[in-house]
Structure 1
Amino acid sequence: MGKKTGKTEPAKADPVYVIGQDANGKPRGARFAELKDSIVSAAMDLKCRVLINPPAAVSALGMKLPVGRVYGGGKVVKLFVPNIRRELYDKILEAAGPLVDGEPAAEGADVSCTASENGQAKSEPDAATDDVRCISPVTSGLPRSWEEITVGHMVLAHESPDDGWWEAVVIQRDQEILTLRYRDAPKLPKFIRHINTVALVNPGPG
């Protein structure tokens, strides 16, 4: 038998980090091992900031957060986001920088985290990446350019000359190739479009 090197693989960074403040202004934060809309939507409903697959510097700090918990089912989902040290909270916010267009975050800048139920995007508990719910119509998350399009955004996809354009949710982006599903018909098969063939929805004032 070969000798063991004793080396271990570095821990894989979780894809989702949620930070905010509770009703008393105390910082809260949690990390989640899966990118699920039920987590993103519920966190946004709690008026927390959501960091999805952030840069390595942010992930390194985010991995110091406690593991979050998801409760409930169906259309009612609750998150448990425990209190964290103010120092860690400040470091994560500093590393993450200001909000950018399209970043999942709740409307309203108080960034408070209070107990709530169903996610702002009518989430579903088993929604993995293939089941990403649309975050755009309720928040400022509508993309302002084709370059900004990312997972969870709503775009318009052309079905046919007879059927016209329909709202579709981005569930994956690979460079200029989008994997989509129809927003109002989630049980229909997902489909692929080049980014230049979809239309943007007017996001309103900046």
Structure 2
Amino acid sequence: MGKKTGKTEPAKVDPVYVLGLDANGKPRGARFAELKDSIVSAAMDMKCRVLIDQPAPVSALGMKLPVGRVYGGGKVVRLFVPNIRRELYDKVLEAAGPLADGEPAAEKNDVRGQAPEDLQAKSEADAAPDDVRCISPVTSGLPRSWEEIAVGHMVLAHESPDDGWWEAVVIARDAEILTLRYRDAPKLPKFIRHINTVALVNPGLA
């Protein structure tokens, strides 16, 4: 038997932490075990801040974030970043400090503590009168028409009058019939919808 050196291996930390606010202004965050351009790009599309290869003080807090999920493949993927406690959200961003030059992030404004209506007013005030952009989060790979819907695209599917509409990912298309699965509930059974019964998500400016 070999001799024990008494040294312990340093705890493994994930290289990517993603933090941001959802459409209702609630904090969300996740950690990812792999550093990929597609993950960073998808996080930026969600208007999230991306922290990569952080020092120990930030990583110690970042590892308290829930594990994020990646959907899709290739260069176009989608992320599931769950809601987290405001306390943890603030602590991670405080430890990370101000945005460094070249750090991947979709927004350089500090939006912590601001209400959604404050963010909307600020966005509209900063934009020129003739160039007010949609402030809702934009996700890459959204179809611009029902004819463009293809495998990997996200659409909205109606569940029931009580449950409303939910994000769904197209996993197959046969003429005008779509096979879908719910984006945020991948373990639920896949289901079928006619192309005319799904709704499109705003793809943003062309």
Give TM-score scaled by structure 1 length: 0.50
Pair 1:43 & 2:6 matched: no
Aligned match of 1:14: 14
Q: What is the deviation of 1:7?
A: 8.4
Pair 1:83 & 2:83 matched: yes
Give unpaired runs (5+ residues) of structure 2: 117-135, 143-206
Pair 1:93 & 2:93 matched: yes
Aligned match of 2:57: 57
After superposition, where does 1:44-193 map in structure 2 within 5 Å?
Answer: 44-107=44-107, 109=109, 114=137, 116-118=139-141
Distance 1:64 1:53, change over 3 A: same
Identity of aligned residues (%): 82
Contact 1:15 1:53 in 2 (8 A): yes
Contact 2:28 2:83 in 1 (8 A): yes
Larger Rg: 2
Distance 1:93 1:5, change over 3 A: same
DSSP 3-state at the match of 1:77 = strand
Looking at structure 2, the residues matched to 5 and 100 of structure 1 have their Cα atoms a distance apart, in angstroms, of 39
Deviations 1:116-162 (A, max 9, x none): 2349xxxxxxxxxxxxxxxxxxxxxxxxxxxxxxxxxxxxxxxxxxx
Higher relative contact order (CA 8 A, sep 6+): 1
Looking at structure 2, the residues matched to 35 and 103 of structure 1 have their Cα atoms a distance apart, in angstroms, of 14
Contact 2:27 2:89 in 1 (8 A): yes
Q: What is the deviation of 1:73?
A: 2.3
Contact 1:19 1:30 in 2 (8 A): yes
Count of residues paired in the alignment: 119
Looking at structure 2, the residues matched to 6 and 68 of structure 1 have their Cα atoms a distance apart, in angstroms, of 34
Q: What is the deviation of 1:74?
A: 3.8
DSSP 3-state at the match of 1:38 = helix
Looking at structure 1, the residues matched to 5 and 52 of structure 2 have their Cα atoms a distance apart, in angstroms, of 34
Looking at structure 2, the residues matched to 55 and 44 of structure 1 have their Cα atoms a distance apart, in angstroms, of 21
Looking at structure 1, the residues matched to 84 and 7 of structure 2 have their Cα atoms a distance apart, in angstroms, of 31
Give unpaired runs (5+ residues) of structure 1: 120-206
Q: What is the deviation of 1:77?
A: 1.3
Looking at structure 2, the residues matched to 86 and 7 of structure 1 have their Cα atoms a distance apart, in angstroms, of 36
Looking at structure 1, the residues matched to 107 and 95 of structure 2 have their Cα atoms a distance apart, in angstroms, of 21
DSSP 3-state at the match of 2:28 = strand
Looking at structure 2, the residues matched to 75 and 48 of structure 1 have their Cα atoms a distance apart, in angstroms, of 18
Distance 1:115 1:8, change over 3 A: farther
Deviations 1:66-101 (A, max 9, x none): 110110124431100001111100000110111111
DSSP 3-state at the match of 2:92 = helix
